[in-house]
Amino acid sequence: MMFLRLLAITLVAAVFLVPVNTLAVEQSNDSQLSTDQRLTNAVNDQHLTLDDATKALLNQKCQVAQVNLQKLQEKTDTIVESRINTYTTFQKEQQAIKLRMARQGVDASEIDLLIGKLQQGIDDLTLTANNYGTTLRDVITVDCIQKPEQFQAGLVVLRSRQSQLLQSANNLKKIMNDANTSTFLQLKKRLTA
Amino acid sequence: METEHDHRIVGTNPVVAIGFAIGVAGLMVLTTFLIFINSNSYKTVKQIEAGTKVARALQSSNSEYDTRSPIKADDITVYQNSVEQRLKSLDDANDFSPEKVSNAGLGLTF
C-alpha cells in the first residue's frame, strides 16, 4: 500500500517535472498542408469574422498589401541569410581562436559552449524564418478579394511570426554580447596567467 | 493499522523487501533523471554537445582562418572589438520590426 502511494506520488511529480517538449517530437505539420488548409485553420483558430468596413478596406487595398509583402519577403530572405552567415563566421573565428590557444597548451573549452549556443540560436532563427516564410507566401498567394478572412487571419499569424523572428535575432545578438563578459574574459585571463 | 500491515509484509518477506528497495531506488533514479533533464546543467550539456559537433565540422573547413600563429590576450581584445563593431551594424529592431507588417506598414488604412 505504501509502495503504491510512493508510486502515485512519483508519477504525479513526474507529470509536473517533464516538460511537454521533452516528450513531444517538435515537428509542425503546417508545411504538409496546402495554403488554403493552413489559412482556413488560422481563420478557425482565431474565430475570425470580418465586419463590412474591414471587408471593404481589404477588398480595396489587399492587393497593394500583397505587393508590399512580396518586397518584404525578398528583403527578409536576404537579411536572414546575412545574419546566418555572420554568426557562422563568428563560429569559424572562435574555432580558429580555440585551435591557436590549443597549440599553446591553453584550455579554451568555453568556446565549445559558445559555438553550441550560437548553433542553437542559428537553428532557431532558421526554423523561425522558415515558418515566417511559409506564412508570408500564404498571405501573398491567397486570393484576398475572394477570401478576405483568410488574408486577415494570415496577417495575424504573420505578425506573431515577425515578433518571433525579432526575438530570435535578438537572442543571437545577446549570446555574442554575453560572451564578452563570460567567455572572452576567461580566455584573456588564461592567456595572461 | 495499515502501517502495521505494511511493516509486517516488508519485515517478514525478504523478496518483498528487496523488491520494495529496488522499486524505491528506481523511483529515486527516475526522479533525479527528470530533475536533471529539466535543469540548466542539461541545457548546458546539450549546448556543449552541439558546439563540439559544429567545431568538429568547422575544423575541416577553417582553412581561411589563421589557426596556427601564437595568440595573446590583446588579440582577443581586438577580436572582441571587431565582433562589437559587426554586431552594431546588425539592426535587428529595424530589420525585423513588427511595424513592417502592421496595417500602416502594408498600406491597409483608410
| A117 Cβ under 8 Å from any chain B Cβ | yes
| Residue B104 burial class via C-beta count within 10 angstroms: exposed 0-12, middle 13-18, buried 19 and up | exposed
DSSP string for chain A: -HHHHHHHHHHHHHHHHS-HHHHS----SGGGS-HHHHHHHHHHHHT----HHHHHHHHHHHHHHHHHHHHHHHHHHHHHHHHHHHHHHHHHHHHHHHHHHHHTT---THHHHHHHHHHHHHHHHHHHHHHHHHHHHHHHHS-TTT-HHHHHHHHHHHHHHHHHHHHHHHHHHHHHHHHHHTHHHHHHHHHH-
Of A64, A76, A119, the CB nearest to B54: A119
Q: Do A17 and B100 touch (CB under 8 A)?
A: no
Q: Please, what are the averages of pLDDT over each run of 10 residues along chain A (193 residues)?
A: 64 59 52 89 92 91 94 94 95 92 91 93 95 95 94 96 96 94 91 87
Q: Which of A10, A5, A9, A1 is nearest to B4 (CA)?
A: A1
Instruction: Collect all residues with Cβ–Cβ distance below 8 Å to B81 and sequence separation of at least 6.
Output: none
Chain A interface disruption, residue of B41, B61, B83, B109, most A CBs within 10 A: B83
| Contact status of B41 with chain A (Cβ, < 8 Å) | no
What pLDDT sits at residue B31? 92
Cα A45 from chain centroid? 21
Task: Give me B86's grid cell.
Answer: 559587426
**Distances from the Cα of A103 to the Cα of A98, A107, A122, B64, B74, angstroms:** 9, 10, 28, 18, 17
CA distances from A157 to A126, A166, B101 (A): 18, 14, 11
Please report the residues numbered 82 through 111 in chain A whose beta carbons come closer than 8 angstroms to any beta carbon of chain B: 83, 86, 90-93, 95-101, 103-104, 111
**Is the pTM for the entire model greater than 0.90?**
no
Nearest-angstrom CA–CA distance, A148 and A61? 11
In this complex, is the C-beta atom of A145 within 8 Å of any C-beta atom belonging to chain B? no
Distance CA A44, CA A49 (A): 10
ipTM of the complex: 0.78
**How far apart (Å, rounded) are the C-alpha atoms in residues B93 and A165?**
10
What's the gap in Å between the CA of B47 and the closest CA on chain A? 4
pLDDT at A23: 46
Indicate the SS3 state at residue B18: helix
**Residues B36-80 pLDDT 10s:** 998 988 888 888 888 788 877 776 666 788 888 999 999 999 999
Give dist(CA A132, CA A76) in Å, integer.
Answer: 10
Give the per-residue pLDDT at A170: 96
Is the pLDDT reported for residue B4 higher than 80? no
Beta-sheet strands, E only, within B36-95 = none
Please tell me if residue B16 touches chain A, with a CB cutoff of 8 Å: no
User: Is the confidence at residue B1, as pLDDT, over 60?
Assistant: no
Q: Please, is A132 exposed, middle or buried when counting C-beta atoms within 10 Å of its C-beta (0-12, 13-18, 19+)?
A: buried
Length of chain A: 193
Burial (0-12, 13-18, 19+ Cβ within 10 Å), B74: exposed
